[in-house]
Chain A
Amino acid sequence: MERVAATKGTLQKAREQLEFIDRGKDVLKMKRDQLAGELNKLLGQLGQRANIEALFREAYDAVGYAYAVLGYDSFSSAASAVDTIEVRAFPTSMMGVVMPEVELTKKTAVDHVPTPTLAKAVAKLGGAVEKAIELAVLEAKVERLALELMSTNRKVNALEKVVIPRYKAMIRYIEDKLSEQALQEFFVTKRMRDITKVARERRQT
């Protein structure tokens, strides 16, 4: 326990600080519960990763088949008409956690692919890429939320296990010191009164 001045002022200040820290701990606990709830919701959606891998395998197969039907140069020629996907990335905030959000502003225009064989492959590949973008955003959100949850948990634990007990001990120490001081003052006063009384009686006799 670090040395603190055992005064009533310090005790008052320490009690106020403990109350403030206690309220802060409750807020952090609420934040932790909220983050855990959100994380649980998102974790459920992470299961789609297996589906996306299957989609990519299918798309790879379709693209390979289109290559085989058309040959590399016909494939490239037809593929030149495919517009690129465009996305807009922006940050959002949840309980103070900055999370990425990606909006697909331009999808794969399958209609623009001049060769039906390639159009089918593009449809599959485009679908898989769009899902992969969704998954990447989801995984990034989970990562950020998990980090924030860990940090919040550490803060709550630190408050519960270290800071609050320390403040409580300090308050107890100050209280003990103050009551010790009060007892000492009471004893000194009583002794002084007794001494004064004895001295007065001696003067009278």
Chain B
Amino acid sequence: MTRAHGLHTHLLTRNDYQALIKMKDAKAVSDYLMKGDYAQLLEKASAAYPGALHLANVFRSLLVSRCYHLVGVAPENCGIFIEAYLERFLVEDMKRILRAKHAEKVVDKGSLIPVPKKYDHVNLQAMADAATLQDALGFLARTSFGSVVDVMPVYEKYRLISIIEARLEKTYYDSVLLPTLKGLPGHATIEEMIGTESDLVNIGMIADLRARRVAADAVRALTHAPLHLTSGELAMVSAGTPESIPQVVAKTRYSALAQPLQDALEAGKDESIDHLVRLEIYRGTRSRSVTSADSFAYVLCYLREAEAETNNLISMVTGKELGLPEPRIQAALCS
């Protein structure tokens, strides 16, 4: 926890963001970052401006090294939890590989999050080299994600890669993350935070898949075990239509999410479900990092804030490189 407090001081502050968003281009953003933790990696990258894609890789490398550093220094059960929490990087990489296999395209290995080999329990390289989607899923057989293959009949029916991605998320929360919560110091707060995240991801996934006309029972089967929502509430959300889901959500503890969710489900509006969920999780984390500064939950807050910082910087340099106006970049940030 003390380490997390120390590391937290390395994160960008609100003032940094305000300064960064006003920068005239992506190179200026990159130059500004030469002062902090990013300096060493950016110097290695190139003397000239290397481009947003390369910068994104630099930001992700730092995120990975920041996060996995905590696994090494944390007490055993806390380390297990952090390691399990960070398997979300593996999930993201698996999603990218499976999307490419679904579309019968070559996996761009350079675009994967560089998870250290020691923590790569699923053999991402072999998955990426697999010939087909089935072959790639075959590599998960003896891992915690082995049950993902069970969703293949539903995937075959709808031919939506989102179904496999939802199943990966379910396995991540139900089988990887939740079992590590017990016995943690400040267990209740951690469970509250992870539970909220899991519920928000559930709601987002249900709304997204229902909008894609996936049957309610198939969607219900893809939801993770609810921690704060009751099973009844989750069943009601799953059974809803894209139009009625916001009204159902309004009757749960996530009532504040109802209106933004309705906006996100409207075709003409820019708001999207995945970004909305990300924003909600980050907002909850920011307030929690103040109230839980003396508990282990602070470590989780640090991990999430580090993740948000990486996403924000990627959004910032990409937006600047594309010449997007400040308000558009601001809207893309988790802040």
User: Interface of A with B (CB < 8 Å)?
Assistant: 61-62, 64-65, 67-69, 71-74, 76-78, 80-81, 111-112, 114-117, 119-120, 123
User: Interface of B with A (CB < 8 Å)?
Assistant: 52-53, 56-57, 95-96, 99-100, 102-103, 105, 108, 110-111, 159-162, 165, 208, 212-213, 264, 267, 269-270, 272-275, 311, 314-315, 318-319, 322-324, 328-329, 331-332
Measured CB to CB, the closest approach of chain A to B60, in angstroms, equals 9
Bound: A72/B311 CA distance, A: 11
Bound: A59/B110 CA distance, A: 28
Is A65 within 8 A of B160, CB to CB?
Answer: no
* Seed contacts A72-B52, A80-B105; 7 additional CB < 8 Å A-B pairs: A64-B324, A72-B318, A77-B111, A112-B159, A114-B95, A116-B273, A123-B267
Known: A72-B53, A81-B103. A117 touches B272 (CB 8 A): yes
Is B267 within 8 A of A77, CB to CB?
Answer: no
Contact among A68, A115, A120 with B315 in the assembled complex (CB-CB below 8 Å): A68
Known: A65-B270, A68-B332, A76-B108. A114 touches B315 (CB 8 A): no
Is B328 within 8 A of A114, CB to CB?
Answer: no
The prevalent SS among residues of A at the interface is helix
Q: What is the total of A-B residue contacts with beta carbons within 8 Å?
A: 92
Residue of A nearest to B316 (CB): A68
Bound: A11/B110 CA distance, A: 87
A-B CB contact pairs (8 Å), 5 listed: A64-B323, A73-B110, A115-B272, A115-B274, A116-B208
Contact among B53, B105, B161, B324 with A114 in the assembled complex (CB-CB below 8 Å): B161
Known: A76-B108, A77-B96, A81-B103. A68 touches B329 (CB 8 A): yes
Contact among A67, A74, A80, A115 with B322 in the assembled complex (CB-CB below 8 Å): A67
Measured CB to CB, the closest approach of chain B to A92, in angstroms, equals 33
Contact among B52, B108, B270 with A120 in the assembled complex (CB-CB below 8 Å): B270
B residues less than 8 Å from A123 (CB atoms): 267
Bound: A116/B165 CA distance, A: 13
Bound: A108/B290 CA distance, A: 46
B residues less than 8 Å from A62 (CB atoms): 270
A residues less than 8 Å from B328 (CB atoms): 61, 64-65, 68
Bound: A119/B311 CA distance, A: 19
A residues less than 8 Å from B275 (CB atoms): 69, 116-117
Measured CB to CB, the closest approach of chain A to B169, in angstroms, equals 12
Measured CB to CB, the closest approach of chain A to B104, in angstroms, equals 9
B residues less than 8 Å from A68 (CB atoms): 315, 318-319, 322, 324, 328-329, 332
Is B100 within 8 A of A77, CB to CB?
Answer: yes
